[in-house]
A and B are shown apart, each in its own frame.
Chain A
Amino acid sequence: MILYQGELFPTEKQPELLSALEAHVNRTLAARPLSRETVVRAADALGARIAEGLFDDLLRRFAPGEEEKHKAAALPVMRREALEYRIRTELGDGPEAWDAAPPYGPERIRTERRPLGTLFHIAAGNVDGLPAFSVLEGLLTGNVNILKLPQADSGLTIEILRELIRLEPSLAEYIYVFDTPSSDAAGMRKMAALADGIVLWGGEEATRAVRALAPTGARLIEWGHRLGFAYISGYADREAELAALAAHVAETKQLLCSSCQTIYLDTDDPRAPHDFCREFLPILSDAVRSRPSADPGDAAQAALRAYCLRLEHAAGSRRGGRTVYAGDGCSLTVCPDRRLELSDMYGNLLVKALPVPYLLPVLRRAKGTLQTAALIAAPEKRRQLTELLLRAGVQRVMKAGDMSLSFCGEAHDGTYPLRQYTRFVHVEL
């Protein structure tokens, strides 16, 4: 399905629509700019409708059993209060345009913050609705948005954006959504060719391709590509912290950038990871069991992952020296190495020993992929360890259960998205 200027078209119409896209986008760029207030008003109205439950049927259809979760997630990103706070935090309180007489001339120069122009969003499929939020960020900064849906998109994105357009019809010419597959190089190239900025939510096969097809000079804005981990060095409240970590793993199924993949233990005793697994496995099993997936497909994937791990271990095809502790729909694997790596997800964690002196050196080897660390530590060590994690390149140091917590005005991978989607222009007066 394609959403083009507020109208739905079947996928087959893509070539026809793409060939008219440049002219349409140019017409929009040439006309009056999009006012931020218009976008905020529409998003807020949409947020209100979602909160009132007008979308419950829709949410149930696209993400059965997760309506409340999605509603709760939508609020802090769609309501006026949140959006205005975000704009203030990200773009600052200062004026959008100002005149100045800089030292050494010229006499008068005007500086203005402007949209980049046209953004091409290549969205990831691991969070329902995320592609729509990416477009919303583009709208808030006044850009025309071309969105390539992820293959796994459930159809929710188009519904959200259609509703937004219904509430504010003037947004129609700022939103173009295509469901073209990443393998359609010609289609992708056409969309990219129109873009001033390419917003790439990592993790798709598109990542590699996009670099090749981005037009020279287009700003590449890459999100994602991150691995989360937990570092444990003593406890403030052992039972509560381990339960919170287990709950986080069960809830996110480790599918998010911020999800925990590896648990590091501050120890050089080779037996300690095994002792930890024996203690943590029942806690993790309970957490997974008490949150059964509403979607049988998700449940099956999780169960099969854990099962495949056991098979690989049994068949002897896994890298040597690993020990698998298998629980119900989850597992813990003790690894002899220290590398930060991706787990098998869906409740399957890696456990590694990493004494403090190795913490920074090991994390530096993964510097491009660092984002969130859950720090579980004795209170007296917390400050020093936080500092060390930040120096290693970690962006967020969170408490055990809050690894994937997001909040208004949060920086994304160390930077503010709205800033990335704008540019400063100068006009000599």
Chain B
Amino acid sequence: MDHRHALFYWPDPYDVSGTEELFLAAVRENCLYESAHCPAYRRILADFGVKPEDLRRPEDLGRLPFLPTAFLKTHRLFSMPRWRMPILATSSGTSGKASEIGFDAGSLLNGLQMVLRVAAPRGLVSPQPCHYIVFGFRPHPSNRTAVAKTAFGYTCLTPAVSRTFALKRRDGRYVPDLDGVIRAILAQERSPFPTRFIGFPAYTYFTLERMRERGLRVRLPRGSKVMLGGGWKQFYREAVDKTALYRLIEDRWGIGEDEVIESYGAAEHPILYCDCPRHHFHVPVYSRVLIRDVHTLKPLPPGEVGLVNLITPMVRATPILSVMTDDLGVLHPADSCGCGIRSPYLEILGRVGMKNVQTCAAGAAELLTGAAGSPSPII
């Protein structure tokens, strides 16, 4: 029985309590597969003394060895040959290194179901044609980042009248072209079709700021939306609080807060988290969240702040069933939101490792490679 398939076709994407058994069965199945096909993962399971069949109760998910994103960035783990992976995606690698995640055909088909189910409640799937302004990269053979792929994927949720990309490829590098974006925005004010903005909040914010500096203001057609995702990346210093951003969007583009939709996800945990009308990330059935203590890495009770550990049985090609992000967050009970969705929601509070300190000692290590062989002793 393909439990993964059953889970991804579950009618209500937020029926977390109703899918408890099914989720466990799917993780067990996934764990068994990885253990059979990925020797390194099998050795890790053995070292932690965990067998797939041990995963019986929801709390057993915490016993599953998790793979930190930092680990995935330095280790390529695959459970099937390359030809069975239609997509090989890399994380955006803000700090230089990127992880490489393989996607099997089954995971992509299931992923499509997920996107349609999660995006529908926010009115993202529609036959109404739209202009798309993507604050990201235009997909290019040399750019395999998951961000570029998902951003492009979002432009397929409705028929696209036009696609404008904020990051242009010039001399083999990506450079932001915010002025080009502003020209497109000004033109689209008079279009019969609504505009959708997609991508990094930082570039969205910079564009809005530039429009404000120049005194430019548009009222985009009804149905226009802003989809934010991908985090603040290297612009964490300018991170503005969300309400200020919503106000700026309303002020400069005439798009109300209800039409601003934020998503959360990562190449290493390709589950689409879409915020509810109150801007909370409720956990969809395809995913479970454990918050772990920053000192001991042990699971914490709900409501406490810690590292965000994400679990999903979506992918087979790479053993990413339990992944530790660099995010600090907290899991809130469903009823503290009040939007009506019955699953708990995840609040991301920040990122660890953003200090990205390369120490002088680390620099020295780079210089030390090359001296081969062992010197002889002085007797």
A interface residues (Cβ-Cβ under 8 A, vs B): 124-126, 151-152, 181, 201-205, 207, 223-228, 254-257, 259, 261, 292, 296-301, 303-304, 307-308, 310-317, 328-329, 337-342, 345, 355, 357-358, 360-362, 364-366, 368-369
Interface flag for B379 (CB, 8 Å) = yes
Interface flag for B1 (CB, 8 Å) = no
Which residues of B, 266-316, contact A by the 8 Å Cβ criterion?
294-297, 305-307
Asked whether B363 lies within 8 Å of A207 as measured between CB atoms, the reply is yes
Asked whether A296 lies within 8 Å of B305 as measured between CB atoms, the reply is yes
Asked whether B367 lies within 8 Å of A225 as measured between CB atoms, the reply is yes
Residues of chain A lying within 8 A (CB to CB) of residue B47 = 310, 313-314
Which residues of B, 40-63, contact A by the 8 Å Cβ criterion?
40-41, 43-44, 46-48
Asked whether A317 lies within 8 Å of B360 as measured between CB atoms, the reply is no
Which residues of B, 334-379, contact A by the 8 Å Cβ criterion?
350-365, 367-368, 371, 374-379
Interchain CB contact (< 8 A) of A369 among B70, B234, B352, B368: B368
Interchain CB contact (< 8 A) of B364 among A227, A254, A299, A313: A227
Kindly name the residue among B294, B352, B359 whose own CB sees the greatest number of chain A CB atoms within 10 A.
B359
Asked whether A308 lies within 8 Å of B71 as measured between CB atoms, the reply is yes
Query: Contacts A341-B365, A342-B361; is A315 near B43 (CB within 8 Å)?
Result: yes
Query: Contacts A303-B296, A360-B378; is A125 near B364 (CB within 8 Å)?
Result: no
Beyond A203-B358, A203-B359, 17 additional contacts (C-beta under 8 Å) are: A124-B358, A204-B363, A224-B360, A224-B364, A227-B368, A228-B361, A255-B357, A257-B360, A299-B295, A300-B307, A304-B297, A314-B48, A315-B43, A339-B371, A341-B365, A368-B367, A369-B368
- A-B contacts, 7 of them at CB < 8 A, read A202-B360, A226-B360, A296-B305, A296-B352, A342-B365, A345-B359, A369-B365
Q: Which residue of A lies closest to B68 (CB)?
A: A304
Kindly name the residue among B234, B360, B367 whose own CB sees the greatest number of chain A CB atoms within 10 A.
B360
Q: Which residue of B lies closest to A154 (CB)?
A: B355
Asked whether A338 lies within 8 Å of B359 as measured between CB atoms, the reply is no
Q: How many A-B residue pairs have CB under 8 A?
A: 168
Interface flag for B228 (CB, 8 Å) = no
Asked whether B352 lies within 8 Å of A301 as measured between CB atoms, the reply is yes
Residues of chain A lying within 8 A (CB to CB) of residue B227 = none
Interface flag for B265 (CB, 8 Å) = no
Interface flag for B147 (CB, 8 Å) = no
Query: Contacts A203-B360, A227-B368; is A301 near B43 (CB within 8 Å)?
Result: no
Residues of chain B lying within 8 A (CB to CB) of residue A341 = 365, 368
Interface flag for B324 (CB, 8 Å) = yes
Query: Contacts A304-B324, A368-B367; is A205 near B40 (CB within 8 Å)?
Result: no
Cα A313 to Cα B48 in complex, Å, equals 12
B183 shortest CB reach to chain A, Å: 19
Asked whether B70 lies within 8 Å of A300 as measured between CB atoms, the reply is no
Residues of chain B lying within 8 A (CB to CB) of residue A313 = 47
Interchain CB contact (< 8 A) of A296 among B296, B328, B357: B328
Asked whether B296 lies within 8 Å of A225 as measured between CB atoms, the reply is no
Asked whether B375 lies within 8 Å of A300 as measured between CB atoms, the reply is no
Residues of chain B lying within 8 A (CB to CB) of residue A366 = 368, 371
Asked whether B365 lies within 8 Å of A361 as measured between CB atoms, the reply is no
Cα A124 to Cα B359 in complex, Å, equals 7
Interface flag for B67 (CB, 8 Å) = yes
Asked whether B355 lies within 8 Å of A152 as measured between CB atoms, the reply is yes
Asked whether A254 lies within 8 Å of B361 as measured between CB atoms, the reply is yes
B62 shortest CB reach to chain A, Å: 14
Cα A125 to Cα B95 in complex, Å, equals 14
Residues of chain B lying within 8 A (CB to CB) of residue A224 = 360, 363-364
Asked whether B295 lies within 8 Å of A329 as measured between CB atoms, the reply is yes
Asked whether B364 lies within 8 Å of A369 as measured between CB atoms, the reply is yes
A229 shortest CB reach to chain B, Å: 10
Asked whether B352 lies within 8 Å of A297 as measured between CB atoms, the reply is yes
Q: Which residue of B lies closest to A306 (CB)?
A: B297
Asked whether A257 lies within 8 Å of B44 as measured between CB atoms, the reply is no
Asked whether A225 lies within 8 Å of B360 as measured between CB atoms, the reply is yes
A12 shortest CB reach to chain B, Å: 9
Asked whether B65 lies within 8 Å of A311 as measured between CB atoms, the reply is yes
Cα A226 to Cα B375 in complex, Å, equals 20
Asked whether A297 lies within 8 Å of B328 as measured between CB atoms, the reply is yes
A359 shortest CB reach to chain B, Å: 8
Residues of chain A lying within 8 A (CB to CB) of residue B247 = none
Cα A245 to Cα B283 in complex, Å, equals 45
Interchain CB contact (< 8 A) of A361 among B68, B353, B362, B376: B376
Cα A227 to Cα B376 in complex, Å, equals 22
Cα A313 to Cα B364 in complex, Å, equals 24
Interface flag for B75 (CB, 8 Å) = yes
Chain B window 193-233, contacts with chain A (Cβ cutoff 8 Å), 1 for yes, 0 for no: 00000000000000000000000000000000000000000
A184 shortest CB reach to chain B, Å: 12
Q: Which residue of B lies closest to A125 (CB)?
A: B357
Q: Which residue of A lies closest to B71 (CB)?
A: A308
Kindly name the residue among A205, A296, A310, A366 whose own CB sees the greatest number of chain B CB atoms within 10 A.
A296
Asked whether B352 lies within 8 Å of A125 as measured between CB atoms, the reply is no
Interchain CB contact (< 8 A) of A204 among B70, B305, B358, B374: B358
Q: Which residue of A lies closest to B47 (CB)?
A: A314
Residues of chain A lying within 8 A (CB to CB) of residue B295 = 292, 299, 303, 328-329
B268 shortest CB reach to chain A, Å: 14
Cα A256 to Cα B357 in complex, Å, equals 11
Asked whether B361 lies within 8 Å of A259 as measured between CB atoms, the reply is yes
Asked whether A227 lies within 8 Å of B361 as measured between CB atoms, the reply is yes
Asked whether A358 lies within 8 Å of B375 as measured between CB atoms, the reply is yes
Kindly name the residue among B41, B43, B234 whose own CB sees the greatest number of chain A CB atoms within 10 A.
B43
Kindly name the residue among B41, B46, B68, B356 whose own CB sees the greatest number of chain A CB atoms within 10 A.
B68
Residues of chain A lying within 8 A (CB to CB) of residue B43 = 314-316
Query: Contacts A151-B356, A357-B379, A369-B367; is A300 near B294 (CB within 8 Å)?
Result: yes
Residues of chain B lying within 8 A (CB to CB) of residue A316 = 40, 43
Query: Contacts A300-B328, A314-B48; is A340 near B361 (CB within 8 Å)?
Result: no
Cα A228 to Cα B365 in complex, Å, equals 11
A330 shortest CB reach to chain B, Å: 11
Cα A259 to Cα B359 in complex, Å, equals 10
Chain B window 8-50, contacts with chain A (Cβ cutoff 8 Å), 1 for yes, 0 for no: 0000000000000000000000000000000011011011100
Asked whether B70 lies within 8 Å of A304 as measured between CB atoms, the reply is yes
Interchain CB contact (< 8 A) of A297 among B48, B355, B358, B359: B355
Cα A256 to Cα B364 in complex, Å, equals 11
Residues of chain B lying within 8 A (CB to CB) of residue A226 = 360-361, 364
Asked whether A361 lies within 8 Å of B378 as measured between CB atoms, the reply is yes
Kindly name the residue among B324, B328, B362, B374 whose own CB sees the greatest number of chain A CB atoms within 10 A.
B362
Residues of chain B lying within 8 A (CB to CB) of residue A361 = 375-378
Residues of chain A lying within 8 A (CB to CB) of residue B355 = 125, 152, 297-298
Asked whether A203 lies within 8 Å of B361 as measured between CB atoms, the reply is yes
Asked whether A365 lies within 8 Å of B371 as measured between CB atoms, the reply is yes
Residues of chain A lying within 8 A (CB to CB) of residue B324 = 304
Residues of chain A lying within 8 A (CB to CB) of residue B371 = 339, 365-366
